[in-house]
Amino acid sequence: MSSGERDIDGRLFDEWPEKYDRWFESPIGALVKKYENELFLDLLQPRPGERILDVGCGTGVFTLNILTSGPRVTGLDISIPMLKRAEQKTEGYPFRSVAGDMSFLPFSDECFDKVVSMTALEFIANGRDAVADLFRVTRKGGVVVVTTLNSLSPWAARRKKAADKGHALFERMIFRSPDEMRAISPVKGFVKTAIHFQKDDDPKRATEIEIDGQRKGLDTGAFLAARWQKP
């Protein structure tokens, strides 16, 4: 990606804050939130006093769960309406919002203990450069966690169909596989997946499917999470 070129216009997300939050309040959306939270927090392991950067923080749905563990969090997002909602949710916590693009992080080298990016990489064409910049702002020995949408999941297939029909958001998405995520980082790490059930599954049945998928260690879950430690 050439200097100054953006993958996506932040205004594309400006009408989504309400829809985004409402999705996680639905029965199946609440299950998605539960299992995504469990996985990314297990990989991130936030601690009191740590400086954590949340890249693509959106409305703060997942940021709030980081903050409850006691770190100081800086949330970056390209959409101002998303950031304003995140500010409302995190009121009273040590949270600072920054408007910016994850392709050009406006931070100095090695200024965060840990960096997490939740489902934002799918809007970045040059994922390798974006992940390299996440490493740049992470201190030595720090942790980088990136989650994205898994190309091996039926969820991705459904969203590709919607993109073909002109869905403004989905047609901008880039889906990556577990192997592609392993190869996108300058250092060796590991990946896990969650959300093995489907959007239309009965919530009770969805829980059973998820437990079984995680027990088997399937790599086809819709939520793909990668963790690396900066040497």
Specify the pLDDT at position 12: 63
Give the rounded percent of residues in the chain with a pLDDT score beyond 70.
92
| The CATH classification of domain 10-229, taken from the options 3.40.570.10, 3.40.50.300, 1.10.10.10, 3.40.50.150 | 3.40.50.150
pLDDT surpassing 80 at residue 48: yes
Q: Tell me what the pLDDT averaged over the chain comes to.
A: 91
pTM of structure: 0.91
**pLDDT tens digit sequence for 88-108:** 999 999 999 999 999 999 999
**pLDDT tens digit sequence for 177-193:** 999 999 999 899 999 99
HEC-encoded secondary structure of the chain = CCCCCCCCCHHHHCCCHHHHHHHHHCHHHHHHHHHHHHHHHHHHCCCCCCEEEEECCCCCCCHHHHHCCCCEEEEEECCHHHHHHHHHHCCCCCEEEEECCCCCCCCCCCCEEEEEEECCHHHCCCHHHHHHHHHHCEEEEEEEEEEEEECCCHHHHHHHHHHHCCCCCHHHCCCECHHHHHHCCCCCCEEEEECCCCCCCCHHHHHHHHHHHHHHCCCCCCEEEEEEECC
pLDDT surpassing 60 at residue 6: no
> pLDDT grade, residue 1 (50/70/90)?
very low
Mean pLDDT of 121-144: 96
Specify the pLDDT at position 10: 53
Domain extents in the chain:
10-229
Name which of 163-167, 187-191, 221-225 the model is least confident about.
Answer: 163-167
Instruction: Compare 126 and 164 and report the one with higher pLDDT.
Output: 126
**pLDDT tens digit sequence for 27-41:** 999 999 999 999 999
